[in-house]
């Protein structure tokens, strides 16, 4: 398994908020991949991710290319546990154990919540 996927949980991460969503997990070859849906800014983008910082327990910093039409930006995704006793609450009022920020450079930045779960 490539190093990036080895440093990321085996369960798929699903996160987002109103107007956007991201799914992150390892494919069968063991490469860490993402699917980002942000209709108002990038439409659908997908690609490989690498771990860019040694993770602390439960925290992940990931980076990869973000292709949107003719533009290519860098996608940086930060995932961290919500504060103890204060779960991340999305715009629909649902609670989640993780907060997620996806920064797509010129394409925009998005904040939301998410969970690691079954594939």
Tens digits of residue pLDDT in 97-118: 999 999 988 888 999 999 998 5
Under 8 Å between Cβ of 42 and 59:
no
Q: Is the pLDDT of residue 6 over 70?
A: no
Mean pLDDT of 16-22: 94
Residue 107: φ, ψ to 5°: -75, -20
Domain that holds residue 100: 3-117
Per-residue pLDDT band for 1 (boundaries 50, 70, 90) equals: very low
> To the nearest whole number, what is the mean pLDDT of the chain?
87
pTM for this structure?
0.88
Encode 45-56: b = buried (16+ Cβ within 10 Å), e = exposed: bebbbebeeebe
Number of domains in the chain: 1
């Amino acid at each position: 398994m490539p190093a990036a996927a080895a440093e990321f949980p085996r369960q798929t991460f699903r996160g987002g908020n109103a107007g956007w969503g991201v799914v992150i997990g390892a494919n069968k070859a063991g490469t860490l991949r993402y699917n980002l849906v942000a209709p108002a800014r990038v439409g659908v983008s997908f690609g490989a991710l690498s771990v860019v910082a040694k993770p602390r327990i439960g925290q992940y910093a990931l980076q990869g290319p973000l292709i949107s039409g003719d533009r290519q930006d860098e996608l940086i995704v930060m995932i961290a546990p919500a504060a103890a006793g204060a779960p991340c609450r999305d715009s629909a009022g649902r609670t989640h154990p993780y907060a997620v920020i996806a920064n797509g450079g010129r394409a925009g930045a998005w904040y939301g919540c998410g969970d690691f779960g079954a594939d």
